[in-house]
Amino acid sequence: MKITIVGGGYVGLVSGACFAKTGHDVTIVDVDSSKVGMINSKKPPIYEKGLEEILNETAGKNLCASTGYDSVADSDVSMICVGTPQGEDGSANLAYIKQAASSIGKELKKSLGYRVVAVKSTVPPGTTENFVRPEVLRASGKSVDDIGFAMNPEFLREGIAVFDFMNPDRIVVGSDTEKAGEIIEKLYSCINGDVIHTKTTAAEMIKYTSNAFLATKISFSNEIGNICKALGVDVYEVMKGVGMDHRISPYFLNAGAGFGGSCFPKDVSAIASIAEGMGLDPVLLKSVLKINDAQPLRIVEILENRAGSLKNKKITVLGLAFKDNTDDIRDSRSTPVIGALLSRGAHVSAYDPMASGSMKKIYPEIEYCNSPSDALRDSDGCLVMTEWPEFSELDKEFSLMKSQIVIEGRRILSVEDREGICW
């Protein structure tokens, strides 16, 4: 099948590359010409395990990138994968969705035959039906007999997104007609996964609910972790026992510095905003966000209790990405921690295998080092914020510190005499 992916960001690029790997003819549309050039040159603009290998295999063959929408008219499916950033009021900003729908509709004026427009971006329930569909039909001058609409949410974990795409827990297909749903399902014919057919609004809500529930598990674990620390109980022992209950499962029960990334914070905020807009009070969801906002600052409080005033002290931050195996710093727990350290007059040295360049755009004034040793040398304290595997191997490097105060936001270290945020 011929597919146009609108949006060459994280979701669009990974999805487009994986669709090409399974044999489809894919065009990725993005306004960023430098990103388009990189994709066409087989160079991924983001780091994702396995992505470069797929681009080497498909780019220039059945995968290309463009700044124009010309491919839409001949595509069986046009898939919207643009961002839905969080607005000031916590709601999802749909400006890029509207722009994509309008541009797709204009190109579909030229199309012959039945076409499907699918949304893969995370959007509030009702967006596909009440926002995308009327905009595409208006811009194209066509009817629902000519264009079908679908919602096909993604469930990709950064760092292993290619694996997740190829080995999905489920494939959710929300559609306004059976015909449109069958075409979207056909896209995944080479991938093993249970297909769930729903209405578009249900598919949109499945995505929000999944992220909100996982975020809730994390904040719940952190709340329990804070209590366990006060009681002198090992929260990891507690959660190991809890997670063995098949009704709960062991996943997302690791207490620590909280969740970040491009999905959980904005999606929980968006669904809470939707609820409030309908006159409901989403107490649990607001608590999930409140706990998550406060959690990383606890590590700074623990550091102050151990080291005293942080003014003019050198504090090392190991890990800047919101999780390992990515260079993504969106809503990284390191960001508020660095801000808190600087506000207390500390001098911050930082190390991350991939994310230093990204964090430098936010905090250009701190010292970025090329190794953990360089970052730790003569430091008065160390905060470990990301679970990079290489950090688990650190040992003698901590002896380079002036004062060996080591506090973890993720349970990754094997060195003795370290303290955890929740243990």
Which residues are designated catalytic? 263
Q: In angstroms, rounded to a whole number, what is the distance separating the alpha carbons of residues 46 and 402? A: 36
Question: What single string gives the DSSP state of each residue in 380-408?
Answer: SEEEE-S--GGGGG--GGGGGSSS--EEE
Instruction: Provide the residue count of the chain.
Output: 423
* Residue entry with tokens 């230093």: 356
Q: In angstroms, rounded to a whole number, what is the distance separating the alpha carbons of residues 19 and 225? A: 41
How many CB atoms are closer than 10 A to CB 93?
A: 16
Q: At what angle do helices 235-243 and 200-231 cross, to 10 degrees?
A: 140
**H helix or E strand, kind and range, residue 194:** strand 194-198
CB 348 within 8 A of CB 362: no
Which tokens hold the place of 148?
Answer: 């079908």
Which tokens hold the place of 321?
Answer: 């990405």
Residue 330's contacts (CB-CB under 8 Å, 6 or more residues apart) are 260, 261, 262, 322
Q: Angle 35-37-43 (CA atoms, 0-180°, nearest 5)?
A: 80
Would you call 309 helix, strand, or coil by DSSP? coil
C-alpha distances (whole Å) from 252 to each of 220, 239, 296 are 10, 10, 17
Beta sheet of 115-119, edge-to-edge order: 63-66, 25-29, 2-6, 77-80, 115-119, 147-151, 170-175, 194-198
In sequence order, what are the beta bridge partners of 311? none
Residue (of 390, 410, 334) closest to 366 by Cα position: 334
Question: What single string gives the DSSP state of each residue in 343-389?
Answer: HTT-EEEEE-SS-HHHHHTT-TTSEE-SSHHHHHTT-SEEEE-S--G
